[in-house]
Chains A and B, each alone.
Chain A
Amino acid sequence: MNHSISLTVNGARRDFVLDDPRVTLLDLLRERLHLTGTKKGCDRGQCGACTILVDGKRINSCLALAISHDGADILTIEGVARGDQLHPVQAAFIAHDGFQCGFCTPGQIMSAIGMMQEAQAGNDPERIRECMSGNLCRCGAYAGIVDAVLEAQAGMDESNQRRSA
């Protein structure tokens, strides 16, 4: 039986007909939309490489059935920059060498953006490590990742202050 769903992906409405309910959001993004920035690492919710934002919240797209997310608003790594202007978290990852091979990086960046929106970590490195523990980096670039998130968080705090001043 076919099922029709529609999603908003990086700001654009997309309609799909699913001929099999087994399709995950991860496979839909990669195979149907060719948005391959979202990575399939473990495919079992353990590595975080598939992290995307769904309705503003970070989740593992490998453990989410597309059919169950009809109407959802999805943000992937392809949707965070504004044209050629990198998202502050992307820029901070480059500035602080927050990656080596780069495979986990889209998931790390989406997770960091989600974490900053959750406002649970602030500028405490220990909290950042805890709140980013769902993203594994087998190259071990964690020190750079924490520095990058700290800088991006500081930049966000500063721009919030400017806005409220």
Chain B
Amino acid sequence: MKPFDYVRPATVTEAVAAAAQPGAAYLAAGTNLLDLMKGGVSRPDRLVDVTHLDGLDQIETLADGSLRIGALVSNADLAHDPEFARSYPAVAEALLSGASAQLRNAATVGGNLLQRTRCVYFYDTASRCNKRDAGTGCDARDGENRTHAVLGWSESCIATHPSDFCVPLVALDAVVEIEGRNGRREIALDALHRLPGNTPERDSALEPGDLIVAVRLPPPARGFSAHARYLKVRERTSYAFAVVSAAAALRIENGRIAEARLALGGVAAKPWRARAAEDVLRNVAPTADAFQEAAWRALADAKPSGDNAFKIELARRIVVRALLLAAAGTPARLPALPASPFASTSGAIHA
């Protein structure tokens, strides 16, 4: 690991000033960053430790009914908060399907949003990678790429964003609060992560010094609690990143879908909101046929970036299954194996 300076600011303002310097990086739990630093993938000159800052570890309901989650709340504390799990069950299920219990205890909300891709060529410093070292090329393009992107990729980069948490969050219109050099601003989570284009070295819309201080779920997000699921296909049933995942949330009134929300994980460099699919589910009965049509729309623009054409059909099927399970109703208890399509206790209807 390259040597670095360590600073521990006392306030958010001090943190932003310290992190705006070239070569600086924020340190929260470090579960992703330290791994990247040990591998020489990330080589910061300075770590700005934000773990001791006050006021960033609260979960609070605001006057308008929004939920505000501080950036330093741990993944485990959030998922196990009973009120949170009741109101946003697909988000809790996604959190509990990610990583291991040890990592969820440490990893933070802000860090989860900003975790880097798990593309093996990004991790392997002997490989060419435009995301790690801009302009060097992409060895994934002609390499082992069965888990890579099928939506939104470019010739420069076919990496995916690995977060589970972000998938239901983007479906529920989450907003990210950012403290930067010019003060506080907020952007939709959907606008935080960038597609690669010709600049895959930039994962997000954040500028130097920008610190995520909170994630907010707007009032309508609670309206989906009765019909919400997150499903995730992985190469082993626990402690693995998604090959493909889907968050489905429905508001059902008088036997018809009043509003649908759908997002996919593991398919692109950002959590992938499927608005065209949501549109065809407005004011229709929640049937398998309608969900097949929605799945078709969700993947209409998908194309393989390598040996991964299977992911497109897999994504369609996981979308249909997630929607069917959401329509059947959020289970009273989280399944023993969160987000598993193979869970024996989920009462799964097979797509």
Contacts and interface: CB of A to CB of B under 8 A. Distances in A.
B57 interface: no
Contacts of B103: 45, 59-60, 63, 134
Interface in A20-35: 20-22, 24
B105 A133 contact: no
Contacts of A131: 101
B34 A63 contact: yes
Interface string B227-254: 0000000000111000000000000000
B38 A43 contact: yes
A20 B101 contact: no
A127 interface: yes
B35 A118 contact: no
Interface stretch (B1-9, B14-22, B282-290, B306-314): B1-9
B106 A59 contact: yes
Contact of A65 (B27, B80, B100): B27
A133 B336 contact: no
A96 interface: no
Nearest to A132: B101
A24 B27 CA distance: 13
Nearest to B80: A120
Given A68-B27, A124-B336, A44 B35 contact: yes
Interface in B298-351: 336-338, 344-345
B292 interface: no
B31 A45 contact: yes
A64 B105 contact: no
Interface residues of A, number: 36
A51 B102 CA distance: 7
A33 B243 CA distance: 42
Interface string A110-144: 01001100101000101101111111000000000
Nearest to B345: A126
Interface in B29-84: 29-31, 34-35, 38-39, 47, 49, 51, 76, 80
Contacts of A60: 31, 102-103, 106
Interface string B260-277: 000000000000000000
Contacts of A88: none
Contacts of A135: 100
Nearest to B28: A68
Contacts of A39: none
B101 A111 contact: yes
Interface string B125-153: 00000000000000000000000000000
Q: 3 shortest A-B CB distances, which residue pairs?
A: A134-B100, A21-B6, A133-B238
Interface of B: 1, 3-6, 27, 29-31, 34-35, 38-39, 47, 49, 51, 76, 80, 99-103, 105-106, 237-239, 336-338, 344-345
30 contacts: A21-B4, A21-B5, A22-B1, A43-B38, A45-B31, A45-B102, A57-B106, A58-B102, A58-B105, A59-B103, A59-B106, A60-B106, A62-B34, A63-B29, A63-B31, A63-B35, A65-B49, A67-B6, A68-B49, A68-B51, A114-B101, A115-B101, A126-B336, A126-B345, A127-B336, A130-B238, A130-B337, A130-B338, A133-B100, A134-B102
Given A21-B5, A57-B76, A124-B336, 16 more contacts: A44-B38, A45-B34, A59-B103, A62-B34, A63-B30, A63-B34, A63-B103, A64-B106, A65-B27, A65-B47, A67-B6, A67-B49, A114-B105, A120-B101, A126-B345, A134-B239
